[in-house]
Amino acid sequence: HPPTRMSLRQRIVLTLLGIAIILVIPAAYGLLALQQVHSAVHTLQGRDVEAINALSDVRNGVEAANDAQVRYSALGGIGEAQDFAALEQRLDSASNAVAGGLATLSRGAYRRSSARVAALWDTTRTFAQQERTLIRAGDRDGAAALRRQAVTPAFQRMAASLEPVGVEIDRQTEREVQRAEGVARRSASTTLAALAAALVLTLVLGTWLTRTLLRPVGELRRGMANVAEGDFAPNVRIPVERPDELGDLARSFDTMTTRLLELDRLKAEFVSVASHEIKTPLSVIRGYVTLLADGIYGPVNDRQKTTLEAVNAQTDRLTRLVHRLLDVSRFEAGGGRLELRDIDLAAFFRELTSGFQVLAGQNGIEFPVRLADDLPATIHGDEDRLNEVLGNLLSNAFKFTTQGGTIRVDAQRCDGGICVEVEDTGVGIPPDQLPRIFEKFYQVDNEAQPRSVGSGLGLAISREIVEAHGGTITAESQVGRGTRFSVFLPERPPVQKAA
């Protein structure tokens, strides 16, 4: 069965949904903990505060009743009827306040305590009523005795009975406060832990999404950059069997590079074949021009001879261009052959620079050549090809360096090979053109030095030859200050594969 296709949009949506769920979980837990804290606060505000207010009403009512009862007893038989009526009204009001407070307490968590207080209150009210009855009957001695023996102790017991209720209310309130604090602490620690876990999971999902999206896109970007530089086999590490859009891009990219590689091969083959076919008619043209110039087919005047020499020079130039095109095509196709042998470096550089010493003297250019003491005696390579490379670099240096300038050759040992630098104080290469100087047919053009006459193949061939030896060639330049080419050559080139 083909793999289930999951598009990039689905992956992004699922990742964002997962992140949202991960972030919602601690938020939901925080809301739940907040609800528990709210419940504890509601209990404090509802039950406990109401109980405290009710206990205060009971305490105030008992004190008011006791005060009214004392005043009633003090009036005795000397009070007016209206005074006794007012005290009776105060006693009734105080009794109602006590009854209301006890009723409130009996509805909550303090039912048992309020029942004991209510029983004591009934007894106290009964004794107080009996005292008032004796006072109204004129039995002051009996009323006084009853007060000492029953009424006053009853009010005292009543007041004392309210203390445990207050203690119980305080204890319940403290318990609710501790519960709220515990819930708050647990919710804070748990929420922080959940948030940390959510951040870790979010980071994991984000990393996964980044690897899923940005890494393949980066690979495609790298591959496109390589293709733009002429590498049509960039080895992009994206599985073409991926079932999503990136897999489609990878397959399209692979198809594109395969076709470009084939087109490049056909182009190189065409150039090679065409150049090879051009060589024969060029040789024939050159032969006939030479015969004509030598007068084999009749006398030639000076004007005709000058024309034939110009034709012969252009034929030589075209022949050299054909040879260079063949060289580039062969090296690009992997068929550029190297005649490898041991090269005496001292003799090689002496022979290479001897011809240029004369040119330097004619143009007033300093031309120092420095061979380091640690330079190996020999390296393995194609002497003619390497002579062509360094000769190309020196020719360019002399071409773009004016009188009074300096061209320096420096050779020294490097890791596993030699490094050769050719540096001049010429016009330099603009930064925007420097990356392209090793491309075929590309010629640098700037204000200080107009485009020179040439094929634009010298540096391209030089790079192919150096890379065929397993080395590298690079360039650094500043406009108006000069250019430095650096060539690295291993002591022994890699084994060449048959083309």
Residue owning tokens 């001049």: 424
Domain-embedded: residue 362? yes
DSSP per position, 270-308: HHHHHHHHHHHHHHHHHHHHHHHHTTTTS---HHHHHHH
What is the Cα–Cα distance from 436 to 475, expressed in whole angstroms?
A: 11
Q: Spell out the residues 6+ positions from residue 242 whose beta carbon is closer than 8 angstroms to its own.
A: 250
Assess contact for 336 and 464: CB atoms under 8 A: yes
CATH code of the domain containing 104: 1.20.120.1730
Residue type for 268, please? A
Q: What is the pLDDT of residues 98-156, one digit of tens each?
A: 888 888 877 766 777 778 888 888 898 898 888 888 888 888 888 888 888 998 898 88
- Domain boundary among the residues 332, 364, 394 is at 332
What is the Cα–Cα distance from 170 to 197, expressed in whole angstroms?
A: 40
- Domain boundary among the residues 205, 235, 268 is at 205
Whole-model pTM above 0.75? Answer: no
Q: What is the pLDDT of residues 225-259, one digit of tens each?
A: 777 766 766 677 666 666 666 677 777 877 887 78
- Domain boundary among the residues 278, 308, 332 is at 332
Residue 369 pLDDT more than 90? yes
- Assess whether 31 and 179 both reside in one domain: yes
- Assess whether 163 and 192 both reside in one domain: yes
Domain-embedded: residue 3? no
- Assess whether 195 and 262 both reside in one domain: no
Q: Please give the residue range of the domain that contains residue 447.
A: 341-490
Domain-embedded: residue 15? yes
What is the Cα–Cα distance from 198 to 12, expressed in whole angstroms?
A: 18
- Assess whether 127 and 272 both reside in one domain: no
CATH code of the domain containing 359: 3.30.565.10
Domain count, the chain: 3
Residue owning tokens 């445990």: 164
Domain-embedded: residue 210? no
Residue owning tokens 């890494």: 215
Domain-embedded: residue 307? yes
- Assess whether 265 and 325 both reside in one domain: yes
What is the Cα–Cα distance from 16 to 208, expressed in whole angstroms?
A: 12
Q: What is the pLDDT of residues 17-54, one digit of tens each?
A: 777 787 777 777 777 776 776 676 666 556 667 778 88
